[in-house]
Amino acid sequence: GAVVSQHPSWVICKSGTSVKIECRSLDFQATTMFWYRQFPKQSLMLMATSNEGSKATYEQGVEKDKFLINHASLTLSTLTVTSAHPEDSSFYICSARAGTGTTEAFFGQGTRLTVV
Amino acid sequence: AQSVTQLDSQVPVFEEAPVELRCNYSSSVSVYLFWYVQYPNQGLQLLLKYLSGSTLVKGINGFEAEFNKSQTSFHLRKPSVHISDTAEYFCAVSDIGNEKLTFGTGTRLTIIP
């Protein structure tokens, strides 16, 4: 199956700093990527949808200026958590689809962010 | 808008016993249905999906699910579980033509030796 690689798998940062998380599709071109946030023992909440070469579409309640998403190529999307605070600590997961009309999304292994 | 309900947050099952994880959905349009498994500190892996055709869908690791349109359900089953099946299971739905997945709250399956 298709592989989506997410990096780093875990990161600890100081409050007020920014953290970048990368999501790469290794063996296919991902026209659409999705970013999710998962709180402990809860489900995945969609944060935003990004299409290559265009601005991301954010879900209601997600701060665009805080969670910057860039999808500059067909194999890479990045999520930058700016001015991180302890409440941003969470598990972030990306997923990617190979194209429009396809039905399966492939998930990265997730990034655990801890802000201290 | 669609929604997914997984009524059981935790399901303990003895090893080699059968298991059913329940999933109900609501949507005003036709949907695709999915089951994903998540192992600790990992991403999600697709177990199986229903797109169209036969309502009984077989997936990986011996799991299967049955789509019941009248009951708007997509329950996941396995006839005999193994210790390695211990994980979190998520049911998800997407409207046909809409790429977004809506997830249920998950069911933690614990296998008792």
**pLDDT one-digit tens code per residue, A94-110:** 999 876 655 678 899 99
Task: Note whether A54 contacts B: Cβ–Cβ < 8 A.
Answer: no
Q: What pLDDT band is residue B16 in, cutting at 50, 70 and 90?
A: very high
Q: What pLDDT band is residue B99 in, cutting at 50, 70 and 90?
A: confident
| Tokens 């069911």, residue located | B107
Task: Note whether B100 contacts A: Cβ–Cβ < 8 A.
Answer: yes
What is the reported pLDDT for A101? 58
CA distances to A16, A87, B24, B45, B78 from B64, rounded to whole Å, are 47, 38, 16, 15, 6
Q: What pLDDT band is residue B40 in, cutting at 50, 70 and 90?
A: confident
Whole-number average pLDDT of chain B = 92
* A46-79 pLDDT, tens digit each: 999 998 888 899 999 999 999 999 988 889 999 9
Percent of chain A past pLDDT 70, that is, above it, reads 95
What is the reported pLDDT for A99? 67
Q: What residues of chain A lie within 8 A of the CB of B49, using their CB?
A: 103-104
CB-based burial, B91-104: b 16+ in 10 Å, e otherwise: bbbbbeeebbbbbb
The size of chain A, in residues, is 116
On the question of pLDDT at A39 being above 90, the answer is no
CA distances to A58, A63, B37, B102 from A48, rounded to whole Å, are 4, 10, 22, 13
Q: What residues of chain B lie within 8 A of the CB of A91, using their CB?
A: 41
Q: What pLDDT band is residue A9 in, cutting at 50, 70 and 90?
A: very high
What is the reported pLDDT for A100? 60
- Asked if B43 and A109 come within 8 Å (Cβ–Cβ), the reply is yes
Pairing state of beta strands A76-81 and A19-25?
A: antiparallel
Q: Which residues contact B79 (CB under 8 A, 6 or more apart)?
A: B18, B62
Asked if residue A20 lies in contact with residue A7, where contact means CB atoms within 8 angstroms, the answer is: no
Minimum Cα–Cα distance from A102: chain B residue: B99
Give, for B38, the enclosing helix (H) or strand (E). Answer: strand B31-38
By mean pLDDT, which of B1-5, B40-44, B54-58, B94-98 is the weakest?
B94-98
What is the reported pLDDT for A92? 95
Q: What residues of chain B lie within 8 A of the CB of A100, using their CB?
A: 99
CA distance B68 to B54: 11
Percent of chain B past pLDDT 90, that is, above it, reads 76
- Asked if B99 and A46 come within 8 Å (Cβ–Cβ), the reply is no
